[in-house]
Amino acid sequence: MQKAETRVLTAHVPVSLAEKVDRLAKRAERSRGWIMKQALSAWVAQEEEHDRLTHEALTDVDANRVIDNQAVEAWADSLGKALP
C-alpha cells in the first residue's frame, strides 16, 4: 500500500487553544496531529459546502428564481398565527 504524500503546516495558536487540543487528544487517545488533521478537514469541508451553496444561490438569482422580500416578511409575520 502506497503512503499518501504529506506536507507539514504550522500555525501559531493561543496557548488556551493548544491546551484544549492536547486535552482532546489525550481523551481520544490520539495524537495532536491527528486532532489537528480532523479539525482542518472538517473546516475545509464546511468552507467547500459554503462555496457550493453560494454558487447555487447565485445561479438561482441569475435565473430569477428568487422570492420577494415583502413575501418573506409576510410569511414570517404569519408564523404562529391561526389559519383562517
pLDDT digits (tens, 9 = 90+) for 36-78: 999 999 999 999 999 999 999 999 999 999 999 999 999 999 9
Is pLDDT above 70 for 84? no
Give yes or no for a contact between 21 and 35, defined as CB atoms under 8 angstroms apart.
yes
pLDDT recorded at residue 80: 87
Instruction: Give the confidence band of 34 by pLDDT, cuts at 50, 70, 90.
Output: very high
**pTM, two decimal places:** 0.74
Instruction: Choose among 50, 49, 47: nearest CA to 39.
Output: 47
Give yes or no for a contact between 40 and 33, defined as CB atoms under 8 angstroms apart.
no
- d(C-alpha 35, C-alpha 19), whole Å: 12
Residue pointed to by grid coordinates 503512503: 3
